[in-house]
């Protein structure tokens, strides 16, 4: 059993630092739509609000464990050490992008850092992550796969098929269902049978006779303990677990879908923009996981106010530099488009 | 030394040999290797030979993820139509991931499925659906028509670093032919001239190769020399070998078990129209399935599908016509 009390000061500061870096990256992406209109094309999805869940989960990770999220994928590689400048350049469609401008926001990949790639089709990557766990089992590498997906994906057939196979084969994988309350634009109370019955979404685990736990995804240390137990279970050959991590997506599903040359930017969150529920959104904002963890660390003497500010300033500078790097990077040559079709 | 074996045995032999050669090759699917008597299971154990539930999306998606991380999975899908319930994984995942990652990952999977089971399987188990895959960049599609090609193309598919859809015509499963023993790889993307001829080119795939060769025999008895070309691989498509044959004969019949507008024949006709028009001495003719679903009852099924007689008639009609220069 992993206990949050076992986390040393350096590790706690590391968790806070990664949370802040993710938030700063997402803030810069969001501001790009105003500061550099047209620089980012297509559809971009942000993970603000998910930071505690992402970092708390990945704090349990061994260095060679695979991480496979959905298309809302910016936060994870930041924690794995992928340079944000290459991620930002990818979002800007530049030559120095992580995927050389071939993927964009929804398709980041950094296999050298055990981040094999992402799919823009909801739930498709749950099967891919399960396949990575099959590799770990067949080759007996001791690796565990961290599979992240949203509450919307938990209604796809691919989810049910994949978790069943992982359970049959006792694959070393942890399924982290990130319940951010909205599947794209629709509130979960309108489309999830467990939610409509007043049950947690982790109840889905019972269908596969595997452990299912719901955790407060706004508290990185609670996530650390719950995911840690599932990871240990997976690594010791006991098979998959389903963790429902509950938090609130703090931005809209994605930037507004517009047809060029009409400009796009992030609209108001669906709670306000679709459902007119300002109170719900304000309550979530007031419960911002980053502010809460900051206060907790300062209260417990892990961080001083000045140290916290230094971390935040460093993250701001890092992401400023990432934007400057992206803007300075050349666009790819058009004829490069025929590369990488076949290996 | 070649050995006489059935088509089905040739495929199994290739899988067995490749699994011996490369420990990263794994094999799974529904209703296979269910008892300890299974020869694959005996040879390689449960770690590499597995039983899957009826879950094509997960079976194929898991193969993709395993391939991205170092394995070479072969998925036994039995019937090509079963891929339809998992088309996102086949078309919008497997061939896209390498490209979207800027060449960072590869997806070496083999999706093995039978097709075109014209034996009373009716509307949903007799179809030819390769048209949906042959135009997807990043995906390779092979259709072996002989036991030797079945072995050699399976070996090539397993060794290929890309997703390969390996489609075998069910109607050829118990046909026998000479198959080279030991290592034998037929490169993907190279057509094969199955019969040399000078008067007319017949391009056919899968089961239709057998029908076309029989038709060529009939034509030969009437003094007509037909060349039969089997592309063997629809993606990549060896347009050059087909155009070279048309250069020689000046006439082209395309035979395809699929309905007209979802046939490989339509694509090949377009390629020849663009790259070989000046060599054509008569209009191209396509012999395809009629535009219906496949019916159950035998006379209905026979009526819908191409056969030797239709091929012979098509060849003769092309030979009687001549392009008149304007």
B213 close to B195: Cβ distance less than 8 angstroms = yes
For residue B259, what are its two tokens? 């309905």
Decide if B52 touches A, using CB distance below 8 A. yes
pLDDT for B220 equals 98
pLDDT for B123 equals 95
A255 close to A193: Cβ distance less than 8 angstroms = no
Residue of A nearest to B61 (CA): A127
Q: Do A130 and B65 touch (CB under 8 A)?
A: yes
Q: Do B138 and A111 touch (CB under 8 A)?
A: no
| Mutate: best of A147, A156, A343, partner B, most B CBs <10 A | A343
For residue B284, what are its two tokens? 């191209």
Could you list the active site residues of B? 56, 125
Residues of A in contact with B137 (CB under 8 A): 341
By residue range, what is the domain housing residue A92? 4-248+258-326
Measured between CA atoms, how close is A272 to chain B, in angstroms? 33
| Mutate: best of A64, A113, A128, partner B, most B CBs <10 A | A128
A194 close to A244: Cβ distance less than 8 angstroms = no
Integer Cα distance of A328 and A288 in angstroms:
33
Residue B325 has pLDDT above 60, yes or no: no
For residue A341, what are its two tokens? 């079709």
Residues of B in contact with A339 (CB under 8 A): 103
Q: Do B65 and A119 touch (CB under 8 A)?
A: no
Integer Cα distance of A14 and A272 in angstroms:
34
Q: Residue window 88-147, chain A: list those with CB within 8 Å of chain B.
A: 97-103, 107, 109-112, 116-117, 119, 121, 124-139
A124 close to B61: Cβ distance less than 8 angstroms = yes
From B65, B92, B162, residue closest to A127, measured CB to CB:
B65
Q: Do A98 and B102 touch (CB under 8 A)?
A: yes
| Mutate: best of B28, B72, B97, B102, partner A, most A CBs <10 A | B102
Is the domain defined by B2-180 classed in CATH 3.40.640.10?
no
If one counts the domains in chain A, the total is 1
Residue A334 within a domain: no
**pLDDT tens, position by position, B86-138:** 999 999 999 999 999 999 999 999 999 999 999 999 999 999 999 999 999 99
pLDDT for B27 equals 98
Chain mean pLDDT for chain B:
97
Residues of A in contact with B68 (CB under 8 A): 111, 116-117, 128, 131-132
Q: Which residues are within 8 A (CB) of A277 and not within 5 positions of it... i.e. 6 or more apart? A: A271
Decide if A340 touches B, using CB distance below 8 A. yes
Strands lying side by side in the sheet with B252-259: B192-195, B226-230, B200-204, B252-259, B285-289
Positions of chain A with pLDDT under 70: none
Residue A20 within a domain: yes
Residue A339 within a domain: no
B181-195: average pLDDT? 98
Asked if the bond preceding B236 is cis, omega within 30° of 0, the reply is yes
From A117, A161, A343, residue closest to B161, measured CB to CB:
A343
CB contacts < 8 A, A to B, total 157
pLDDT for B281 equals 95
Q: Residue window 296-325, chain A: list those with CB within 8 Å of chain B.
A: none
Residue B322 has pLDDT above 80, yes or no: no
Virtual torsion, Cα A32, A37, A42, A46, nearest 10 deg = 20
Residues of A in contact with B66 (CB under 8 A): 131-132, 134-135, 138
B78-87: average pLDDT? 97
Q: Do B65 and A121 touch (CB under 8 A)?
A: no
**pLDDT tens, position by position, A125-157:** 999 999 999 999 999 999 999 999 999 999 999
From B65, B71, B138, residue closest to A128, measured CB to CB:
B65
Measured between CA atoms, how close is B107 to chain A, in angstroms? 8
Residue A337 within a domain: no
Integer Cα distance of A304 and A310 in angstroms:
10
DSSP collapsed to 3 states, chain B: CEEEEEHHHHHHHHHHHHHHHCCCEEEEECCCCCCCCCHHHHHHCCCCEEECCCCHHHHHHHHHHHHHCCCEEEEEEEEHHHHHHHHHHHHHHCCCHHHHCCCCCCCCCEEEEEECCCCCCHHHCCCCCCHHHHCCCCCEEECCCCHHHHHHHHHHHHHCCCCEEEEEEHHHCCCEEEEECCCCCCCCCCCEEEECCCCEEEEECCHHHHHHHHHHHHHHHCCCCEEEEECCEEECCCHHHHHHHHHHHCCEEEEEEEEHHHCHHHHHHHHHHHHCHHHCCCCCEEEEECCCCCCCCHHHHHHHCCCHHHHHHHHHHHHHCCCCCC
**pLDDT tens, position by position, A43-94:** 999 999 999 999 999 999 999 999 999 999 999 999 999 999 999 999 999 9
Residues of A in contact with B47 (CB under 8 A): 137-138
Q: Would you kindly state where each structural domain of chain B is located, as residue ranges?
A: 2-180, 192-320
Query: pLDDT-derived band of residue B321, with 50, 70 and 90 as boundaries?
Result: confident
**What are the φ/ψ torsions at residue A252 (nearest 5 degrees)?**
-60, 165
Residue A145 within a domain: yes
Measured between CA atoms, how close is A58 to chain B, in angstroms? 19
**pLDDT tens, position by position, B224-265:** 999 999 999 999 999 999 999 999 999 999 999 999 999 999
From A109, A131, A132, residue closest to B101, measured CB to CB:
A109
Measured between CA atoms, how close is A163 to chain B, in angstroms? 9
DSSP state of A48: T
pLDDT for B62 equals 98
Q: Which CATH architecture has domain B192-320?
A: 3-Layer(aba) Sandwich (3.40)
CATH code at position A112: 3.40.50.970
Residue A210 within a domain: yes
Share of chain A above pLDDT 70, in %: 100
Residues of B in contact with A109 (CB under 8 A): 97, 100-102, 104-105
pLDDT for B1 equals 80
Decide if B93 touches A, using CB distance below 8 A. yes
B205 close to B231: Cβ distance less than 8 angstroms = yes
Residues of B in contact with A125 (CB under 8 A): 65
Chain mean pLDDT for chain A:
97
Query: pLDDT-derived band of residue B181, with 50, 70 and 90 as boundaries?
Result: very high
- Other beta carbons within 10 Å of A147: 31
Residue B174 has pLDDT above 90, yes or no: yes
Integer Cα distance of B59 and A139 in angstroms:
18
Strands (E), chain A: 66-68, 145-150, 173-179, 182-183, 186-187, 212-216, 241-246
Q: What is the C-alpha radius of gyration for chain A, rounded to an integer number of angstroms?
A: 19
**pLDDT tens, position by position, B29-64:** 999 999 999 999 999 999 999 999 999 999 999 999
pLDDT for A136 equals 98
Residue of A nearest to B97 (CA): A117
Residue B185 has pLDDT above 70, yes or no: yes
From A134, A165, A339, residue closest to B55, measured CB to CB:
A165
Query: pLDDT-derived band of residue B323, with 50, 70 and 90 as boundaries?
Result: low
Give me the count of residues in chain A.
343
From B48, B67, B93, residue closest to A124, measured CB to CB:
B93
pLDDT for B259 equals 97
Decide if A49 touches B, using CB distance below 8 A. no
| Mutate: best of B45, B104, B135, B188, partner A, most A CBs <10 A | B104
B2-180 and B192-320: identical CATH topology: yes
* Complex-level ipTM beyond the 0.95 threshold: yes
**What are the φ/ψ torsions at residue B325 (nearest 5 degrees)?**
-65, 140
Q: Do B102 and A164 touch (CB under 8 A)?
A: no
pLDDT for A261 equals 87
Q: Do B61 and A343 touch (CB under 8 A)?
A: no
Q: Do A161 and B57 touch (CB under 8 A)?
A: yes
Please report the sign of the dihedral spanned by the C-alpha atoms of residue A76, residue A79, residue A81, residue A84. positive
């Amino acid at each position: 059993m992993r206990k949050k009390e076992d986390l040393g000061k350096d590790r706690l500061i590391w968790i806070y630092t990664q949370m802040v870096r993710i938030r700063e990256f997402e803030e810069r992406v969001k501001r790009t739509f105003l500061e550099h209109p047209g620089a980012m094309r297509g559809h971009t999805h942000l993970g603000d609000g998910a930071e505690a869940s992402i970092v708390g989960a990945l704090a349990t990770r061994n260095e060679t464990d695979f991480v496979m999220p959905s298309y809302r994928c910016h936060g994870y590689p930041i924690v794995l050490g992928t340079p944000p400048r290459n991620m930002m350049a990818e979002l800007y469609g530049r030559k120095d992008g992580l995927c050389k401008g071939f993927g964009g926001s929804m398709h980041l990949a950094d296999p050298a850092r055990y981040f094999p790639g992402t799919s823009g089709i909801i739930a498709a990557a749950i099967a891919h992550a399960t396949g990575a766990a099959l590799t770990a089992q067949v080759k007996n590498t001791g690796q565990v796969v961290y599979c992240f997906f949203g509450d919307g994906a938990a209604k796809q057939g691919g989810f049910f098929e994949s978790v069943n196979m992982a359970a049959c084969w006792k694959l070393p994988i942890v399924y982290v269902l990130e319940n951010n309350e909205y599947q794209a634009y629709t509130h979960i109370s309108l489309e999830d049978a467990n939610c409509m019955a007043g049950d947690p979404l982790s109840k889905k685990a019972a269908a596969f006779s595997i452990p299912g736990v719901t955790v407060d995804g706004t508290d990185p240390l609670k996530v650390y303990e719950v995911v840690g137990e599932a990871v240990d279970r997976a690594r010791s050959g006991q098979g998959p677990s389903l963790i429902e991590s509950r938090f609130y997506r703090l931005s809209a599903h994605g930037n507004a879908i517009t047809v060029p040359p009409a400009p796009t930017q992030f609209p108001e969150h669906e709670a306000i923009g679709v459902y007119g529920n300002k109170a719900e959104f304000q309550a979530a904002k007031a419960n911002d996981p980053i502010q809460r963890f900051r206060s907790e660390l300062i209260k417990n003497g892990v961080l001083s106010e000045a140290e916290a500010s230094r971390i935040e300033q460093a993250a701001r500078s890092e992401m400023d530099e990432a934007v400057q790097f992206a803007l300075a990077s050349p666009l790819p040559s058009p004829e490069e488009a025929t590369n990488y079709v076949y290996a | 030394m070649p050995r006489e074996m059935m088509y089905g045995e040739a495929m199994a032999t290739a899988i067995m040999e490749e699994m011996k050669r490369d420990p990263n090759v794994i094999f799974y699917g529904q209703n296979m290797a269910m008892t300890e008597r299974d020869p694959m299971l005996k040879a390689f154990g449960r770690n590499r030979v597995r039983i899957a539930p009826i879950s094509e999306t997960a079976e194929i998606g898991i193969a993709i993820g395993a391939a991205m991380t170092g394995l070479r999975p072969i998925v036994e899908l039995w019937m090509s139509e079963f891929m339809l319930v998992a088309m996102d994984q086949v078309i919008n995942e497997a061939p896209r991931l390498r490209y979207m990652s800027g060449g960072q990952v590869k997806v070496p999977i083999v999706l093995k499925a039978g097709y075109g089971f014209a034996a009373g399987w009716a509307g949903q188990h007799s179809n030819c659906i390769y048209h949906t895959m042959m135009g997807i960049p990043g995906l390779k599609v092979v259709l072996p028509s002989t036991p030797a090609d079945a072995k050699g193309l399976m070996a090539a598919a397993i060794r290929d670093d890309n997703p390969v859809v390996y489609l075998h015509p069910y109607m050829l499963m118990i046909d026998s032919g000479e198959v080279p023993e030991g290592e034998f790889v037929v490169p993907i993307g190279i057509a094969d001239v199955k019969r040399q001829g000078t008067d007319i080119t017949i391009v056919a795939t899968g089961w239709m190769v057998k029908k076309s060769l029989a038709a060529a025999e009939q034509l030969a008895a009437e003094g007509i020399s037909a060349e039969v070309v089997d592309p063997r691989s629809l993606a990549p498509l060896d347009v050059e070998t087909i155009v070279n044959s048309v250069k020689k004969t000046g006439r082209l019949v395309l035979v395809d078990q699929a309905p007209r507008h979802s046939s490989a024949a339509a694509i090949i006709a377009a390629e020849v129209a663009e790259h070989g028009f000046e060599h054509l001495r008569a209009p191209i003719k396509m012999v395809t399935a009629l535009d219906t679903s496949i019916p159950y009852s035998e006379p209905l099924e026979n009526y819908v599908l191409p056969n030797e007689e239709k091929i012979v008639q098509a060849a003769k009609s092309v030979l009687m016509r001549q392009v008149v220069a304007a």
